[in-house]
Amino acid sequence: MRASTICVIGGGYVGIPTAAILSLRGHQVVLAENNELRLAALQQGNIPIFEPGLEALVEQAITAGTLSFSKSAAEAVKDCEYVFLCVPTPQDDDGSADLSYVMEAVHEIRAQLKPGCVVVNKSTVPVGTALLVEREISRADVKVASNPEFLREGSAVEDSLKPDRIVMGSNDTHTAKMVAELFANPGSATVITDCVTAESIKYAANAFLATKISFINEAAAFCDAVGADMRDLVLGMGFDRRIGFEVMQPGPGWGGSCFPKDTRALVKIGEDHGYDFSLVRGAIESNKNQFQRVVDKIEALVGDLKGVTVAIWGLTFKANTDDRRSSPAIPVVATLLARGALVRAYDPTVQPSDESSDLAGITISGSAEEAATGAEVLVILTEWTEFRWMNLSNIAPLMGKTNIVDTRNMLDPEAAKRDGFTYLGMGRS
């Protein structure tokens, strides 16, 4: 394949893996990042986000000489045949995606774009954004494509190297095929479509997965109600290949930077176009109820929470990330604090000295044992591997009362009971 010149704008969760993967495929890539601290870190091969394997990948690309960095997107795009927009699209108060970073970036580069180049949108953007970008660029010699990104935090490298599929939208099929070719990977399916469909696929995929988790969380609550066993229920369902075992794990609710934002945006986009996506609205509602179900389980074990010390294991929205954006831990802990509980938490990515505003009111411990000491109930909120292998017989003597709420169904209930714990999982006890 011919090596192309590529600019990736935005050094975040999507931009860094995209830039690294494209440069390791032999393309000449410049990553533009306007935050000076981030840029300086990247230039030294330090990754400003917690993502297993990403630092090594970036180092490899820098050493190969195909990855460089720039503060100015306008400068960086000048000689590039492809420009990838990987800037954040935070959520506005009404649930819609805030496009200001995307439009600012487009405005900054539009006059500098090389004739014939393709601007590819990788940020998650509302349906119709490609058209807005095209209008803002307003140049007949520049094409626009939409390339949604499906990587998961914590496995971004694996997901970027071997994506299940590459979705490429453009209103010009030849352009879509050309951009898809940059990522071509044996084993990955390619879906070539128009921009509106590509943009819709991203929202539909995330909303489907979030709805699937909400279903499984409700199935766990159903198991609790009727006395069925959630683990066996998932086995009995998952061996049906149409259902499968992926994204079938009950938990404290889905969180992170994508599912909450994208489900709300999908509902909002539907509303704006006269469609009520009631199923996804229901999944969002169900997810809120899930946070409350966790609190209910804690109360079922200890009663009134006033003055009760609760130990929390895990604050991030899932394991293998340091990301607490829309983490279920935050509303769960907020309710515990509001009801008068004393909350002591341990998470391998959070330092006791951390003074972030989302941690206000929580005492951060330096170890899982320290968090559990004196607590009347231990609540596992994130599925960090170290919790799975924790020797509970060493934890029990530290605690005031030996109660566990295992929202990730990580522990063996029988083993926990043998160690003296009263155990509540999700759909199993």
Residue 260 token pair:
């909450």
Judge whether 328 and 314 are in contact, CB under 8 Å: no
For 142, which DSSP code?
-
Question: CB-wise, 10 or 178, nearer to ligand UDX?
Answer: 10
| Interacting residues toward ligand UDX by CB under 6 A | 149-153, 206, 209, 213, 247-249, 251, 254-256, 258-259, 317-318
If the CB atoms of residues 152 and 231 are measured against ligand UDX, the closer one turns out to be 152
CB of 334 to ligand UDX, least distance (A): 17
Least distance to ligand UDX, CB of residue 249, Å: 3
Please say which residue, 151 or 233, places its beta carbon nearer to ligand UDX: 151
Q: What does the buried/exposed string (b/e) look like for 75-114 if buried means 16 or more CB atoms within 10 Å of the residue's CB? A: ebbeebbbbbbbbbbebeeebbbebebbbebbebbbebbb
Contacts of residue 302, defined as CB under 8 A and 6 or more positions apart, other chains included, come to 308, 310, 376, 377, 401, 403
SS3 for 319? coil
Beta strands in 183-341 (DSSP E): 189-193, 309-313
Q: Are 91 and 261 in contact (CB under 8 A)?
A: yes
Catalytic residues: 258
What strands, in cross-sheet order, belong to the sheet with 403-406? 362-364, 342-346, 309-313, 377-380, 403-406, 422-424
Indicate the residue among 69 and 254 with the shorter CB distance to ligand UDX.
Answer: 254
Least Å distance, CB 405 to ligand UDX, is 15
Contact 86, 119 (CB under 8 A): no
Q: Tell me which residue of 176, 203, 202 sits closest to 190, measured CA to CA.
A: 176
Q: Which residues, other chains included, contact 274 with Cβ-Cβ below 8 Å and sequence gap of 6+?
A: none
Q: Which is nearer to ligand UDX, 258 or 392 (CB)?
A: 258
Cα–Cα distance measured from residue 315 to residue 243, given in angstroms and rounded to the nearest whole number: 30
Strands in 189-193's sheet, in edge-to-edge order, are 67-70, 28-32, 5-9, 82-85, 118-121, 143-146, 165-169, 189-193
Nearer to ligand UDX, 265 or 308 (CB): 265
